[in-house]
Amino acid sequence: MTAYRLAQLDEKHDVSSFDCGEGSLSNYLRSEAQNAQASGEARTHVWLDADDRVVAYFTLMITRVKKNDLPRQLGIGRADIPGFLLAKLAVASDLRGRGLGPDLLLDALSTIVRGADAVGGRVIVVDALPHEKVHAFYASADFKEIPGSYTLWMKVSTAREVVAAA
């Protein structure tokens, strides 16, 4: 695990200088995450360094996935499958290349597992952007492709096993 402290985003966190090198992810944290948090639309969790600087974050949302988009055994008897959207995940540019992404993803999966234990949910989905490195990152972490899209999925039970093994 890392030396960074995980916290739920709140107004005391200074996100104004956060830059992960991907404009849409940096801008989301700087200008949209607080509003999504306040409205209850999403929850953003940040990593803080020893100086309380935000160095990474992930955003989670509740979602429903159409059963036709996932393997048949997940959608039997349901029109939609309840789950979680890993909407955003980013590490600050100055920390990239240090292998922190898998630890941040593990924190996100741990948070999802706790949520699933509290409210249910069978699947985790993530949009890997039209970016091969992002897609490969999630695929290497046991996420499976949804054919014809940039979306990948994982069963919550798989996430539970990954978290338990860490």
Dihedral sign for Cα 154, 156, 157, 163, please. positive
Q: Is 138 a catalytic residue?
A: yes
Q: How far is CA 27 from CA 15, 16, 45, 66, in A?
A: 10, 9, 15, 29
Q: How far is it, in rounded angstroms, from Cα 118 to Cα 115? A: 5
- Look at the block and give the residue holding tokens 């107004």: 11
Cβ–Cβ under 8 Å, residues 57 and 29: yes
Q: How far is CA 49 from CA 14, 43, 94, 129, in A?
A: 12, 20, 13, 27
SS3 call for 114: helix
**Selected catalytic residue, list 4, 28, 57, 138:** 138
- Look at the block and give the residue holding tokens 């160095």: 55
* Triad 82, 147, 105: Cα angle to 5°: 55
Active site amino acids = 138
